[in-house]
Amino acid sequence: MENQNFILVNGVRPLVINKRTLVTVFGGATKFVDRLLHAARYAPESGWLVVPRPGSPGVECLIDTASAEDAYRRFKAGEEPPPLPSELRAKSNFQKFPTVAPGGKTKQNNRRK
């Protein structure tokens, strides 16, 4: 099972796939695919994906099929790619906004006085 190739397009295993096909492989999880591509661009030492031709406006991003299959195996084994910077910012800013206490009064969290 470890050497089995599971990405097939029209019955043939391609050398590279595009982002749309990768989203299909991961069951429509576009945010997860964005995390994989971000890790490939900004942390290539993590080894999540090999991107022979990065995308740009008007140019399709191509991903090595073998690395996509390895990423799928790593995900199934419980590993996750690093979070996106927007996810880190959202986590750090989560407690900084005022919340509404019972009774309609605002309670200030982490606000300077």
Q: Could you list the pLDDT tens digit for every one of the 113 residues in the chain?
A: 455 668 888 888 888 999 998 998 888 888 999 999 999 988 888 889 999 988 888 888 899 999 999 999 999 999 998 888 888 887 776 655 555 555 555 555 555 55
The total number of structural domains that make up the chain: 1
Pairing outcome for strands 16-18 and 106-107: unpaired
Q: Is residue 4 part of a domain?
A: no
**What does the block give as tokens for 49?**
């994906």
The rounded percent of the chain whose pLDDT value lies above 90 is 21
Predicted TM-score (pTM) of this structure: 0.70
At 100, the amino acid letter reads V
Q: Characterize the bridge pairing of strands 99-100 and 62-64.
A: unpaired
Give the structural domain span for 92: 16-107
Query: Considering the domain boundaries, does residue 7 fall inside one?
Result: no
> What letter would DSSP give residue 53?
B
Is 5 part of any domain? Answer: no
In a domain, 56, yes or no: yes
pLDDT at 67: 92
68 inside domain: yes
The answer to whether position 113 is within a domain reads: no
